[in-house]
Amino acid sequence: MNLDLLFDPLFRVPFFTGLLLAALLPILGLYLRLRGEWLAALGYAHIAGAGGVLAPLVGVPIIAGALGGGALVALAKGLLRRKGNDTYALFILIGWSVMLLGAAYSHHAQLIGQALIDGQLYFIGSQHLLTALVLGGLVVFGLPFLSRLLLREHLFPWHDRANGRPVRLQSVAFDLLAAVTIGLAATAMGVMAAFAVLFVPAWIAFALAPGWRWALLLAATMSIVAYLLGFVAAVLFDLPFGPALVAVLVLFTPLRLLVRPPAGRV
């Protein structure tokens, strides 16, 4: 076990990229759970994986293929005005089949597909970090505005429509933000790790937090702690990052299963 590896410059960009995504994903996961669309995490992650595998086959960067694929299906979902997990179940099937068929087409695509499954965070570059910073800015400055709409739509679903306020554009904007962020996380952490980071902390916080702001804080804190533990374990014991992170997140699940949720939570 070599502790010096944790401070190796080679891991700086991957570490901070993953740390930023670990803070962003559970926040988006809470809003997806609020909308009853928690399966979006796995749906968008599979679509991003398929886009990443197909990208080199058509001569575009992997990150562009992953983010572009997620953005396209988010727009399609918005135009079709489809809600609920059934749409994302279809995305999972499409993404899974395209990812494996694309990986079978060439050895290079096969290596990319395996990396998306393993979640080898250490090999990502500055493009991921810069994109994560841009998405972080969009979440910080854009989500507070979208948050009011999303919360009002959940608590008073006919309020905006009754007052003649269009909500479709804001809803599509959130779908795009979620899809692109999940797509970036899938190429950095791996498909299943991105799903776990978005799903598990939000799942626990949604049940245990006494209010919405506490839920946001609890989910982000839990995700960051799990990320730090997973990163350290993966580097020190030479493990694939994705499975290590998912294993740590699974250790948090007794909080949801054993602790009684507080009464009167919103």
pLDDT in tens, the chain (266 residues): 556 666 777 788 999 999 999 999 999 999 988 888 888 888 898 898 888 888 888 888 888 888 999 899 888 887 776 676 788 888 999 988 988 888 787 766 677 777 777 777 877 889 999 999 999 999 988 888 887 777 766 565 565 555 555 566 777 888 899 999 998 998 889 888 999 999 999 999 988 888 889 999 999 999 999 999 999 998 888 888 899 999 999 999 998 877 766 655 54
Q: Which residue has the tokens 């809803």?
A: 171
- The answer to whether the CB of 144 falls within 8 A of the CB of 32 is no
State both tokens at 34.
């609020």
What is the Cα–Cα distance from 39 to 22, expressed in whole angstroms? 18
Q: At what angle do helices 12-34 and 40-54 cross, to 10 degrees?
A: 140
What is the Cα–Cα distance from 24 to 178, expressed in whole angstroms? 10
Q: Which residue has the tokens 């669309």?
A: 37
Q: What are phi and psi of 94, to 5 degrees?
A: -65, -50
- The answer to whether the CB of 219 falls within 8 A of the CB of 34 is no
Closest CA to 203 of 41, 45, 18, 84: 41
| pLDDT of amino acid 57 | 80
Closest CA to 182 of 192, 169, 172: 192
Q: What are phi and psi of 211, to 5 degrees?
A: -160, 170
| pLDDT of amino acid 125 | 85
- Three-state SS for 53? helix
Q: Which residue has the tokens 């570490």?
A: 15
| pLDDT of amino acid 266 | 47
> pTM for this one?
0.86
At position 188, the amino acid (one-letter code) is A
| pLDDT of amino acid 21 | 96
Q: What are phi and psi of 84, to 5 degrees?
A: 100, 170
Q: What are phi and psi of 245, to 5 degrees?
A: -65, -45
| pLDDT of amino acid 5 | 65
Q: What is the dihedral of CA 79, 143, 220, 1, to 10 degrees?
A: 80
| pLDDT of amino acid 161 | 59
